Homo-oligomer: A and B are copies of this chain.
Amino acid sequence: MDSVFKALSDPHRRKILTLLRKRDLSVTEIQKHFPFTGATLSHHLDTLKRANLVITERRGQFIFYSLNTSVFEDVLKSFYSLFSH
């Protein structure tokens, strides 16, 4: 769960997640929303992937990223457990 909180600690990565809420996006599409290079974006995506927050699927020339909704309940539980008395 440590990798999850680490992944969420960066505002760019959180923005990527909110972008993916609407629909799956290729790296190129995600790239349009950020000022940094593709290499940097690739690192951020890797961080999200290692935290199991996103999943990837190649569709021809593109790799699409999408939210891995199955882990969100776990994350939420962990989050609650920090605060509830």
Contact = CB atoms under 8 A, between A and B. Distances in A.
A84 B5 contact: no
Interface stretch (A26-34, A36-44, A56-64, A74-82): A74-82
Q: Is the interface of A mostly helix, strand, loop or mixed?
A: helix
B67 A17 contact: no
A6 interface: yes
Contacts of A6: 9
Contacts of A82: 8, 14, 17-18, 21
5 closest residue pairs by CB, A with B: A9-B9, A72-B83, A17-B82, A5-B9, A6-B9
12 contacts: A2-B11, A5-B8, A6-B9, A8-B82, A17-B82, A18-B81, A21-B82, A21-B83, A67-B85, A69-B85, A72-B83, A76-B80
